[in-house]
Amino acid sequence: MQGMYCLIISVRAKGKVNTASLGKIEFEKGYWLYIGSAQGTGSTSLENRIRRHFRNEKKIHWHIDHLLETNAKIIEAIWAETSEDMECVIAQHLEGLEDFIWGPKGFGASDCTKSCSSHLLYYQGKGKPLDQIETAFQHLKLIPRRYSDIKPITR
């Protein structure tokens, strides 16, 4: 399956994270949103990419892996099937809303070709950002689903 996703991450306390390529970045306590895409098959399929983010044991490779290694926890993943590259479209749409601001410059966006400052956003609204994310997906004609909708791996 191909598509894009948004991880809703809870950072429990303000702190610094060493991301290697971006150096040390300070993260405020609160909700952060990471937008990603998966257009491959096998280990790079949408469902396997999302499952990887939820695993505790994994090779640290991407910026988001460094953040999730600290006092941050994914509380939900919203995803949609699409063969179109919608990662930047969602990031820019959410940043245009009042409750979201760009995260650290370049975070998750080192290969971005659409001028995104970041593919990580900070949520400064009240409550959880889940409804606003699902509405953004629908606005862009995507059908939002939640992590729990991904069928478990059968072996």
The tens digit of pLDDT for each residue in 1-45 reads 899 999 999 999 998 988 888 889 999 999 999 999 998 888 889
Domain membership flag for residue 155:
no
**Among the listed residues 131, 121, 130, the one whose alpha carbon sits nearest the alpha carbon of residue 101:** 121
pTM of the model: 0.90
Domain membership flag for residue 154:
no
Domain count, the chain: 1
Domain membership flag for residue 27:
yes
CA distance 136 to 141: 9
CA distance 9 to 27: 12
For 51, the domain range is 3-149
Domain membership flag for residue 8:
yes
Domain membership flag for residue 19:
yes
3-class SS at 37? strand
Read off the pLDDT of residues 77-101 as tens digits, 9 standing for 90 and up. Answer: 999 999 998 999 999 999 999 999 9
Domain membership flag for residue 111:
yes
